[in-house]
Chains A and B, each alone.
Chain A
Amino acid sequence: MGAALRLALGQHSEAGSKPLNQDFHGAALPTDAQRRSRGIALAIADGISSSPVSQVASAAAVRGFLEDYYGTSEAWTVRRAAQCVLAATNGWLHAQTQRGDGRFDKDRGHVCTFSALVFKGREVHLLHVGDTRAYRVHPTALEQLSHDHRVRLDGGQTYLGRALGLGPHLEIDHACWPTEVGETYLLATDGAYEHLDPLLVINTLARHGNDLQAAAQALVAAALARGSQDNATVMLARVESLPDQLSPPVRRERLRLPPRLAPRMEFEGYRVIRELYASARSQVVLAVDAQDREWALKLPSTDMGSDPKALDRFATEEWVARRVDSPHVIKAAPAEKRREHLFTAMEFITGQTLAQWMTDHPKPGLDEVRQLVDQIARGLQALHRKEMLHQDLRPENLMIDRQGTVILIDLASAHVAGLNEGLGDARATDIAGSLQYTAPEYFTGDGGTPVSELFSLAVLAYQMLTGELPYGLQVPQVRGPRDLHKLQYVPLRTRRPDLPEWLDRVLRKALHPQPARRQQALSEFAHDLYAPGPEFMSRDRTPLQQRHPLLFWRVLTLGFGLSTLVLLGLRVTGH
């Protein structure tokens, strides 16, 4: 395990010549686990000076952000988590503005600027709205990272274009850069930066060396000495160490690889009933615990034992299951005691797999299929809301229980955005699932998005209806964007002529090789299956030969036959 993320901080704020300091600033000192999953956050806010209450706004924004940011799901990316928290803060501030004087005069409302730096992994994220500034300090210059949201009028006057609490909706800038050990970042309010120049900042930093607190005080003092009439706040952060790699959320160093389980064996407080499934990757057994509850235990195979990456993914499965709450996603067993071995315990679902269901129902009706598809879509949406991709949607990974509820199982291939950011490319580019159901963008290297899961779901729907794959085995053979044009969709109705025409169009759209040309949400696809829009209902333009091949050839042959008879008749009658 590489070094942890560490920062040196220095921060100082002074009211200056004003009676009230409306600036607010703060940094979070998270626990080790939080530092890995959420990073280190520092925030600064500057209340607008025209308002008598903006100090409340700036304090609420900074405090709220630093507290709530660490309460967001660890599965989320920094961007999603921060935007979610700031949208809530903005909503509250705006409501305060509307209740007080600010309702008629925005200048007197709960309004403040806000900038935050979040260090996570080997990257730094900037969240920014308003005209406080974030800089990266270079040896001879300052690089301004933030963009001032100021509106300049002809008379030279400037107004704040965007700020927290100004409107019901918030548009917040997000940017992300890789960072290096030794880099220094500076956050400053306008009262400070308008009176500082790069040389002064660089010299002050050089003079104080590692004492960033003293440097921050010196910078504020310098700004006030140079005639700043406003509150002045400076925050400095220097990267002291960075992690070399992303650490998996579940530590498995002290966990041993389990033995192969046989019926009646005792294992970690469970009694094994029987084996449910075994493959080259895992063994799944049914087991009961001390309270006689049934669980499905999944153990890594011997083969996986030599692949640390696969073991990390394996260990993440329960972590993922605990963070998703949906009737259509499998639940993990409560973690009641320390484990000795690496395994996962999940709820045991009595029922059948979708694969078995497809064998039992070779020609299902549209209604049965769309009810299943709708449920799978809900399960996937629950994952997507946590910025997770299932990535291994296939008939064997879907259970239909006795009541007919479809449940997504096997979350070991899931891509969790929040766990993958911090080292540059966080896209889901690894093909983790069954190739037949994987969307073409994985094969071209573009990586998966929720719309890729829509493709996989549509492949499943097509397979449920016809028993075949819409592109056969062509998709896994895609190597580049050029191959996408060669993919030949086999129309649904050539295999199931009894199904409506619009259904073919809905599926064809969801199965489009270009992600941008599919439905853009799972809900949209599920809705289209129930209530197709006019684009799918347009007049039938497919040629007769494709719609009714048998009829077409019959009519054609009949025509030929008749014309032969006519010609023969003409010949006989001597014309």
Chain B
Amino acid sequence: MAYVVPTEFVTKMVDAGESKLLMSTRDTLIRAYMAGAILALAAAFAITVSVNTGNPLVGALLFPVGFILLYLMGFDLLTGVFTLVPLAVLDKRPGATWGGCLRNWTLVFFGNFAGAMTVAVFMAIIFTFGFSEAPNAVGVKIGSIGEGRTVGYAAHGAAGMLTLFIRGVLCNWMVSTGVVAAMMSTSVSGKAIGMWMPIMVFFYMGFEHSIVNMFLFPSGLMLGGKFTIMDYLIWNEIPTVVGNLVGGLTFVGLTLYSTHYKTAPKRVLS
């Protein structure tokens, strides 16, 4: 695995953020849609593995395949653009503005959501034989996850909200570390190893990932989880998105940017 030194890959992070800002609306939406869909499929796969083996570690060990796949195909998750795009604005790349950053986040959010929803519907059809039967074991499990992670938090009030937020922060700390780790290597195997570790950590620890949740909760609702859409939005999705934003930006983007990029002398010659 060819290792790229930090000063090099941090400029790569800023370049990546800049290129996402420059992407056309159509491309941004399609790539975000595909990313959401692939990640949702991987989540469904990991939960199926967990339920069938009875061991959540096996599911966590295998979940990163989805993330690796979508990263290698160049698709974008909201968690990743939270970390990368602001760096281009902070670095004052030509034309990079906070408005453009928000535009990108919004497009990626809706793209991810549509992709995850598509898979949620597909999987619900599979789990219930086209809504003709009661959901199978995996379906029941997804329904109960949805319940525990909305109504469960709500039961604790403000403390629940804080926990949810911190879980969101931790999640994107890990996930964005995965994105960055992928830039540390130039080979596919190196990228895959780099991404595997943090993604596995986040999935096993049950941290809140805004896109995985875009699949889990709508599925849960379709499979008879006992919570409402408003429960999902207020007691999960919105705090998770904010937590993901804070986690990715502060713990990954800004730390690397300020220590490895800003400390380097300004360019005098190309």
Task: Select B267's contact among A303, A396, A478, beta carbons within 8 Å.
Answer: A396
In the bound complex, residues from chain B placing their C-beta under 8 Å from that of A349 are 269
Q: Is B270's CB under 8 angstroms from A409's CB?
A: yes
In the bound complex, residues from chain B placing their C-beta under 8 Å from that of A472 are 95
Known A306-B2, A472-B95, A477-B22; judge A353-B268 contact (CB<8 A).
yes
Known A302-B4, A303-B4; judge A276-B187 contact (CB<8 A).
no
In the bound complex, residues from chain B placing their C-beta under 8 Å from that of A473 are 21-22, 95, 100
In the bound complex, residues from chain A placing their C-beta under 8 Å from that of B94 are 394-395, 434, 436-437, 463, 469
Q: Is B268's CB under 8 angstroms from A277's CB?
A: yes
Q: Is residue B23 within 8 Å, beta carbon to beta carbon, of the partner chain?
A: yes
| Known interface pairs A278-B264, A303-B4; 6 further A-B residue pairs with C-beta atoms within 8 A, sorted by A's residue number | A277-B270, A306-B2, A410-B270, A437-B94, A463-B94, A479-B24
In the bound complex, residues from chain A placing their C-beta under 8 Å from that of B11 are 278-280
- Dominant secondary structure at the A interface: mixed
B→A interface (CB under 8 Å):
2-5, 7-9, 11-12, 15, 19, 21-27, 93-95, 100, 186-187, 264-270
Known A284-B269, A353-B267, A399-B269; judge A302-B2 contact (CB<8 A).
yes
In the bound complex, residues from chain A placing their C-beta under 8 Å from that of B9 are 280, 303
Min CB distance, B87 to chain A, in Å?
13
Most A CB contacts (10 A, CB to CB) among B22, B27, B94 go to: B94
Q: Is residue A139 within 8 Å, beta carbon to beta carbon, of the partner chain?
A: no
Cα of A275 to Cα of B25 in the assembled complex, Å: 39
**Interface code A101-133, partner B: CB below 8 Å = 1, 0 otherwise?**
000000000000000000000000000000000
Task: Select B3's contact among A282, A302, A356, beta carbons within 8 Å.
Answer: A302
Q: Is A280's CB under 8 angstroms from B8's CB?
A: yes
Cα of A280 to Cα of B17 in the assembled complex, Å: 13
Q: How large is the interface on A (under 10, 10 to 19, 20 to 34, 35 or more residues)?
A: 35 or more
| Chain A to chain B contacts (Cβ below 8 Å), 25 pairs | A275-B264, A277-B264, A277-B269, A278-B7, A278-B11, A279-B11, A280-B8, A284-B269, A296-B269, A302-B186, A303-B4, A303-B8, A305-B186, A348-B269, A353-B268, A356-B266, A409-B269, A436-B22, A469-B94, A473-B100, A476-B23, A477-B24, A477-B25, A478-B24, A479-B26
Task: Select B23's contact among A302, A468, A477, beta carbons within 8 Å.
Answer: A477
In the bound complex, residues from chain B placing their C-beta under 8 Å from that of A298 are 270
Cα of A325 to Cα of B53 in the assembled complex, Å: 71
Min CB distance, A57 to chain B, in Å?
50
Q: Is residue A397 within 8 Å, beta carbon to beta carbon, of the partner chain?
A: yes
**Interface code A260-289, partner B: CB below 8 Å = 1, 0 otherwise?**
100000000000001111111010100000
In the bound complex, residues from chain A placing their C-beta under 8 Å from that of B264 are 275, 277-278
Q: Is A469's CB under 8 angstroms from B187's CB?
A: no
Q: Is B4's CB under 8 angstroms from A277's CB?
A: no
Q: Is residue A435 within 8 Å, beta carbon to beta carbon, of the partner chain?
A: yes
Cα of A419 to Cα of B194 in the assembled complex, Å: 39
Cα of A433 to Cα of B270 in the assembled complex, Å: 13
**Interface code A374-407, partner B: CB below 8 Å = 1, 0 otherwise?**
0000000000000000000011110100000000
Minimal Cβ-Cβ distance residue in B for A408: B270
Cα of A277 to Cα of B265 in the assembled complex, Å: 7
Minimal Cβ-Cβ distance residue in B for A475: B22
In the bound complex, residues from chain A placing their C-beta under 8 Å from that of B267 are 276-277, 279, 284, 353, 396
In the bound complex, residues from chain A placing their C-beta under 8 Å from that of B100 are 473
Known A396-B270, A409-B270; judge A301-B8 contact (CB<8 A).
yes
Q: Is A276's CB under 8 angstroms from B268's CB?
A: yes
Cα of A225 to Cα of B11 in the assembled complex, Å: 76
Cα of A115 to Cα of B268 in the assembled complex, Å: 52
| Nearest 7 interchain pairs by C-beta | A477-B24, A410-B270, A280-B12, A277-B267, A476-B22, A279-B11, A280-B11
Q: Is B265's CB under 8 angstroms from A276's CB?
A: yes
Q: Is A280's CB under 8 angstroms from B24's CB?
A: no
In the bound complex, residues from chain A placing their C-beta under 8 Å from that of B27 are 477
Which residues of A in the span 319-338 have a Cβ within 8 Å of any Cβ on B? none
**Interface code A191-203, partner B: CB below 8 Å = 1, 0 otherwise?**
0000000000000
Known A260-B5, A276-B265; judge A303-B12 contact (CB<8 A).
yes
Min CB distance, B98 to chain A, in Å?
13
Q: Is B15's CB under 8 angstroms from A280's CB?
A: yes
Cα of A300 to Cα of B267 in the assembled complex, Å: 16
Min CB distance, A445 to chain B, in Å?
15
In the bound complex, residues from chain B placing their C-beta under 8 Å from that of A437 are 94
Minimal Cβ-Cβ distance residue in B for A443: B24
Cα of A260 to Cα of B8 in the assembled complex, Å: 11
Cα of A533 to Cα of B235 in the assembled complex, Å: 65
Q: Is B268's CB under 8 angstroms from A302's CB?
A: no
Known A306-B186, A469-B95; judge A301-B4 contact (CB<8 A).
yes
In the bound complex, residues from chain A placing their C-beta under 8 Å from that of B2 are 302, 305-306
In the bound complex, residues from chain A placing their C-beta under 8 Å from that of B95 are 436, 468-469, 472-473
**Interface code A404-444, partner B: CB below 8 Å = 1, 0 otherwise?**
00000110000000000000000000000011110000000
Minimal Cβ-Cβ distance residue in A for B19: A435
In the bound complex, residues from chain B placing their C-beta under 8 Å from that of A409 are 269-270
Q: Is A306's CB under 8 angstroms from B187's CB?
A: yes
Cα of A346 to Cα of B15 in the assembled complex, Å: 25
Known A302-B2, A434-B94; judge A276-B8 contact (CB<8 A).
no
Cα of A472 to Cα of B97 in the assembled complex, Å: 10
Min CB distance, A8 to chain B, in Å?
45
Cα of A173 to Cα of B193 in the assembled complex, Å: 59
Cα of A434 to Cα of B15 in the assembled complex, Å: 10
Min CB distance, B152 to chain A, in Å?
43
Cα of A547 to Cα of B72 in the assembled complex, Å: 50
Minimal Cβ-Cβ distance residue in B for A304: B186
Cα of A279 to Cα of B260 in the assembled complex, Å: 11
In the bound complex, residues from chain A placing their C-beta under 8 Å from that of B265 are 274-277
Cα of A434 to Cα of B5 in the assembled complex, Å: 23
Q: Is B186's CB under 8 angstroms from A303's CB?
A: yes
Min CB distance, A273 to chain B, in Å?
12
Cα of A298 to Cα of B95 in the assembled complex, Å: 28
Cα of A348 to Cα of B270 in the assembled complex, Å: 11
Minimal Cβ-Cβ distance residue in B for A350: B268
Q: Is B268's CB under 8 angstroms from A279's CB?
A: no
In the bound complex, residues from chain B placing their C-beta under 8 Å from that of A306 are 2, 186-187
Min CB distance, B32 to chain A, in Å?
15
Most A CB contacts (10 A, CB to CB) among B8, B15, B26 go to: B8
Cα of A463 to Cα of B94 in the assembled complex, Å: 9
In the bound complex, residues from chain A placing their C-beta under 8 Å from that of B8 are 278-280, 301-303
Most A CB contacts (10 A, CB to CB) among B15, B25, B93, B266 go to: B266
Cα of A278 to Cα of B2 in the assembled complex, Å: 18
Min CB distance, A429 to chain B, in Å?
18
Min CB distance, B156 to chain A, in Å?
44
Minimal Cβ-Cβ distance residue in A for B268: A276
